[in-house]
Structure 1
Amino acid sequence: MGYNIAEFVAVTSRSLPGVELVANDGTFELAPPGYAAPSANSRIDVIWVRSRFAEFGDASDAPEFGITKGAASPTPAKPSLPAGALELAVAEVKATDTTTQTVIITQSVRYTAMAGGSVPLRNRMEQDAWAPADGSLAHRIDNGIHLVRVGGAWAERVPAAHQGRRGSAAQPAGIEIPTDTVQLPQGVIVKTGTLVAGTTVSFGNEYFPVVVFDTPFPNKCLSVTANPLTGDPITKATGAIGFDTVAANRFRALIPESSNPWVRGFTYIAVGY
């Protein structure tokens, strides 16, 4: 039994405080001698890669692929990895497996990006597990939402284009509409933009996604004014557009006492300094 590892480029950390670039330029067959399914129950195995350095006591300077086997159990647990190893995938091996073609394999390697880039996240679980510094960017592979880290939490990067009607499962297409910033005399700054998005309902109000400014106001956002849009696929807001959050780097608009989600839109003017 064994696993085929496809080509990839990864960043690992074998010896702090440095990092290493590992490149696999073709399919690698990982089939350790004696690797087989457990005699009973099932176990969780982890496939990994790590850099090696002879000067630190390793057998060679070549990168190493490996499998760390968990303990067989009716409720198997994931084993710990060797120091410096980067997890590539997780395999659930059952006693009835005679080949890895029937093993349940989950791709679990974490993605990364160059400094300032947007890190791909497969799902909400990976989003919740990553807590980087404010200003970090990410995007969800499963739903296309673009994210920014603000105040120790994730917020949607908007404006984003949506399609759909009331009651539909509208998803963002990840299209960002650029905003404009105008520097006025005496340090007053005006920011303008447009948001088209599917709303959500909570606490008896209809909420838009959070709008995060491309560049925060240096000190404070004094006010935000929103004017509703209309036209396919937008349903025009008939009530007043209010705000529950106005900060130097973001705001969130809402329609009070509205109990149905729609695709809405508005243009805004934000004034601050």
Structure 2
Amino acid sequence: MTVRSSWPGPTGQTGTTEARKAISGLFASDSTGAVRAGVLSPVNTQLLVARTDLNVDIAALQAVAVQFGGAILIANDGVVQLPSPLVSPPAGINYYVVYAKQNESVSPGTDPNNTPVVGAALSTSDFATARTSMPTGAVEIGTVQIPSGVTATNASGVAVTTTATYTAAAGGVVLVRNATELAAWTPADSSLAFRLDTGTLYTRAGGAWSPSAGVMPVIDVVVGTSIAVASGG
């Protein structure tokens, strides 16, 4: 372990690894200090939308990926489609995990180019297997389940689901969809998480999640000849 060159720092001295490590502290991290990869915005919205062909619309988004030493930022500023259509199998089901990634050809990267890409990892058995074939540094956006005999992702039997993990700035509230996602998120004590399915805010304390007792009181202050404080404030 070593103290890294600062970013921004002396001209020509800070490399990409140093820059990634320098900005990693700006984002939510687990109790070991590892950055939580995921979508920053938009939140609680559909990032994958079915189409009348075998492709999907990928919404504009901003995300944090973790690749080769620290955080990198990924931005898609408008709706795009996968470069190659998905495939309906002759039999059974194809399971796709759609992702975004910044390619890197310079060592330790082994990609063929330095292009930002969206892609889809495929398995014929389940989504968990598809995820194992996602490239290093990829950020999951959603999943597509395609049975045989269909010609569009909006056809009956096709399931298009946004599954992206949400992340946040350091100290921010991390959104999770349900109890399973909450249990999987293990940050340091004092961290906050919000369950979308129940509308409950949780606080991390003693290495466990606890529902917050309530919201902070709201105080209305009217500046003038007098100051009025709302009841309960």
Answer yes or no: same fold by TM over 0.5: yes
- Matched position secondary structure for 2:97: strand
Kindly indicate whether residue 88 of structure 2 is the aligned counterpart of residue 19 of structure 1.
no
* Residue 41 of structure 1, CA deviation: 1.5
Deviations 1:6-53 (A, max 9, x none): 0000001121x12110110000011415x3111111132100111122
Give the whole-Å Cα distance in 1 for the aligned partners of 2:187 and 2:150. 39
Identify the match of residue 96 of structure 2 among 45, 48, 54: 45
Counterpart of 2:113 in structure 1 is 60
* Residue 110 of structure 1, CA deviation: 0.6
> Does 2-11 or 93-102 show the bigger shift?
93-102
* Residue 92 of structure 1, CA deviation: 1.2
Structure 1 length-normalised TM? 0.54
Instruction: Return 5+ residue gaps in structure 1 as ranges.
Output: 161-174, 179-195, 197-273
- Given that 1:3 and 1:100 are in contact with CA atoms closer than 8 Å, whether structure 2 keeps it comes out as yes
Give the whole-Å Cα distance in 2 for the aligned partners of 1:121 and 1:45. 22
Distance 1:64 1:77, change over 3 A: closer
Distance 1:31 1:62, change over 3 A: closer
Instruction: Return 5+ residue gaps in structure 2 as ranges.
Output: 1-53, 219-231
* Residue 58 of structure 1, CA deviation: 2.6
Give the whole-Å Cα distance in 2 for the aligned partners of 1:129 and 1:94. 30
- Given that 2:87 and 2:94 are in contact with CA atoms closer than 8 Å, whether structure 1 keeps it comes out as no
Q: Return the letter of the residue paired with 1:176.
A: M
Give the whole-Å Cα distance in 2 for the aligned partners of 1:11 and 1:25. 15
Counterpart of 1:205 in structure 2 is none
Q: Identity percentage over the alignment?
A: 33
How many residue pairs get aligned? The number is 159
- Given that 1:43 and 1:77 are in contact with CA atoms closer than 8 Å, whether structure 2 keeps it comes out as no
Give the whole-Å Cα distance in 1 for the aligned partners of 2:106 and 2:180. 38
- The structure whose Rg is larger is 1
Q: Return the letter of the residue paired with 1:60.
A: N
Counterpart of 2:201 in structure 1 is 146
- Given that 2:173 and 2:194 are in contact with CA atoms closer than 8 Å, whether structure 1 keeps it comes out as yes
